[in-house]
C-alpha cells in the first residue's frame, strides 16, 4: 500500500495564508543567509524554505567567493550551482562550519520532524557534520507536540517485512505518480521513502525504536542536541531560539 504525496502536515489555510507562510519562510531564510560569511564551509538543506536561502546566498555570490557548499539533494545542488555557488561533495569539505535547513515541525523542546522532501538521511548526515546547525521555518511549523507522519527511508530489500515490523508505516507515493500507478518515492540514494503513522509520544523513545528497526536506514526525527539555533519567521519578524547543540570546535 502506498500513501499519496508529501509527509508535511496539512494546514487549514487559505490562499492568503499560504502567501503569508511563504513570506515568513523567506524572512527566516534571509536571516540565516546573513550567518554565512566568505570562506565558510556550509551545508545546504532541501525544500521550499531552503529555496529562499539559496536565493539570498545567490545575491551575495561575489561577496561569498571563497565559501564552499555541500548540498543535501540534487535539486538543491542544481539550484545552488545555477546561482553561482560553489558546490562540493561533503567528503571533500570535511567538517562544515554551518548547515542550514528547513523542517516540517518543531516542538517546544526543539525536536524536529524532517523529510517532507525525502532527503532526511542526507540532511541528518550534513547537519551532524556541521559545527552549527540552523533551522529555518515559518512560525506555523512550531507545534505544541509532534504529530505523525514521521518520514522514513527504508532498504528496498524485504521492504514488506520491514513495514510489518514497523506496524504503522506505509510507503510514500511519488508526487508525479499518475493515477493508478504506485511508484514509491525514493531518496537520492535509492532508499524507499515511507511514513510512520503511529503515535509519536516521547520522540526520544520513538527515535530509538525506529533506529533499531531492521530495514530502517534513517528516520526524520532530529534530536534537540543536533540543533544550534531555530529561526522562525512570522508577522512579527524573525524569532531566534537556541537549540540544545553544544558548540563544537
Ligand atoms: C526535506 C525537508 C524539508 O526541510 C522540510 O520538508 C521542510 O520543507 P519546506 O521548507 O518546503 O516546508 O526535511 O527533506
Which three three-digit cell numbers place residue 102? 528547513
Please tell me the distance from the alpha carbon of residue 124 to that of residue 128, in angstroms, as a whole number.
6
For the segment 146-205, what is each residue's pLDDT rounded down to a tens digit?
999 999 999 999 999 999 999 999 999 986 545 566 799 999 999 999 999 999 999 999
Give the number of other Cβ atoms within 10 Å of residue 94's Cβ: 9
Atom of ligand 1 nearest to the CA of 6: 6
By alpha-carbon position, which residue is closest to atom 2 of ligand 1? 115
CA distances (Å), 222 to each of 37, 90, 113, 120, 204, in order? Answer: 26, 20, 6, 9, 9
For the segment 30-81, what is each residue's pLDDT rounded down to a tens digit?
999 999 999 999 999 999 999 999 999 999 999 999 999 999 999 999 999 9
- Is 168 in the same domain as 230? no
Instruction: State whether the beta carbon of 24 lies less than 6 angstroms from ligand 1.
Output: no
- Is 84 in the same domain as 179? no
Distance 176 CA to ligand 1 centre (A): 18
pLDDT of res. 5: 46
Question: 173, 2 in Cβ contact below 8 A?
Answer: yes
To test the pocket of ligand 1, the residue of 104, 153, 175, 189 to mutate (highest count of ligand atoms within 8 Å of its CB) is: 104
Alpha helices in the chain (DSSP H): 15-33, 48-59, 74-82, 90-93, 120-128, 159-166, 203-211
What number of H helices and E strands is found in the chain?
7, 14
For the segment 100-117, what is each residue's pLDDT rounded down to a tens digit?
999 999 999 999 999 999
First to last CA, the chain: 46
Which three three-digit cell numbers place residue 65? 567567493
Cis peptide leading into residue 3 (ω within 30°): no
Q: Which of the four pLDDT bands, split at 50, 70 and 90, describes residue 83? A: very high
Number of domains in the chain: 2
CATH number at residue 132: 3.40.50.1360
pLDDT of res. 52: 98
Q: Which of the four pLDDT bands, split at 50, 70 and 90, describes residue 246? A: confident
Q: Which of the four pLDDT bands, split at 50, 70 and 90, describes residue 85? A: very high
Instruction: State whether the beta carbon of 102 lies less than 6 angstroms from ligand 1.
Output: yes
Instruction: State whether the beta carbon of 47 lies less than 6 angstroms from ligand 1.
Output: yes
DSSP type of residue 167: S
Instruction: State whether the beta carbon of 233 lies less than 6 angstroms from ligand 1.
Output: no
Q: Please give the residue range of the domain that contains residue 184.
A: 150-218
pLDDT of res. 111: 98
Nearest partner of 220 among 37, 16, 31, 45, judged by Cα: 45
- The reported pTM is 0.93
Atom of ligand 1 nearest to the CA of 25: 10
Dihedrals φ, ψ of 196, to 5°? -80, 125
Atom of ligand 1 nearest to the CA of 141: 12
Atom of ligand 1 nearest to the CA of 47: 11
pLDDT of res. 77: 98
- Is 156 in the same domain as 176? yes
By alpha-carbon position, which residue is closest to atom 8 of ligand 1? 47
pLDDT of res. 10: 47
Please tell me the distance from the alpha carbon of residue 166 to that of residue 199, in angstroms, as a whole number.
12
- Is 56 in the same domain as 171? no
pLDDT of res. 249: 65
- Is residue 131 assigned to a domain? yes
Which segments within 102-228 are labelled E, that is strand? 105-106, 112-113, 130-138, 150-154, 169-172, 192-196, 216-219, 221-222
Q: Is the pLDDT of residue 248 over 90?
A: no
Question: 123, 114 in Cβ contact below 8 A?
Answer: yes
- Is 230 in the same domain as 118? yes
Distance 45 CA to ligand 1 centre (A): 8
- Is 111 in the same domain as 193? no
Instruction: State whether the beta carbon of 151 lies less than 6 angstroms from ligand 1.
Output: no
- Is 135 in the same domain as 74? yes
pLDDT of res. 13: 56
- Is residue 67 assigned to a domain? yes
- Is 26 in the same domain as 130? yes
Residues taking part in catalysis: 123
Amino acid at each position: 500500500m502506498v500513501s499519496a504525496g508529501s509527509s508535511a502536515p496539512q494546514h487549514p489555510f487559505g490562499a492568503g495564508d499560504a502567501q503569508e507562510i511563504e513570506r515568513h519562510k523567506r524572512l527566516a531564510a534571509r536571516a540565516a543567509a546573513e550567518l554565512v560569511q566568505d570562506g565558510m564551509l556550509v551545508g545546504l538543506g532541501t525544500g521550499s524554505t531552503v529555496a529562499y536561502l539559496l536565493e539570498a546566498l545567490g545575491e551575495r555570490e561575489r561577496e561569498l567567493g571563497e565559501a564552499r557548499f555541500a548540498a543535501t539533494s540534487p535539486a538543491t545542488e542544481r539550484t545552488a550551482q545555477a546561482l553561482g555557488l560553489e558546490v562540493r561533495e561533503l567528503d571533500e569539505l570535511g567538517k562544515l562550519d554551518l548547515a542550514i535547513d528547513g523542517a516540517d515541525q518543531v516542538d517546544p523542546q526543539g525536536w524536529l520532524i524532517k523529510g517532507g522532501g525525502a532527503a532526511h538521511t542526507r540532511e541528518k548526515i550534513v547537519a551532524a557534520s556541521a559545527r552549527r546547525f540552523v533551522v529555518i521555518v515559518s512560525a506555523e511549523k512550531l507545534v505544541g507536540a509532534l504529530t505523525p507522519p514521521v518520514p522514513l527511508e527504508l532498504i528496498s530489500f524485504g521492504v514488506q517485512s520491514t513495514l510489518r515490523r514497523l506496524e504503522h508505516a506505509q510507503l510514500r507515493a511519488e508526487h508525479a505518480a499518475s493515477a493508478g500507478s504506485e511508484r514509491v518515492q525514493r531518496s537520492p540514494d535509492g532508499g524507499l521513502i515511507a511514513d510512520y503513522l503511529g503515535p509519536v509520544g516521547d520522540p526520544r523513545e520513538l527515535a530509538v525504536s525506529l533506529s533499531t528497526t531492521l530495514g530502517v536506514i534513517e528516520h526524520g526525527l532530529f534530536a534537540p542536541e543536533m540543533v544550534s539555533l531555530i529561526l522562525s519567521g512570522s508577522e512579527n519578524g524573525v524569532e531566534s531560539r537556541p537549540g540544545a547543540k553544544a558548540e563544537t570546535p
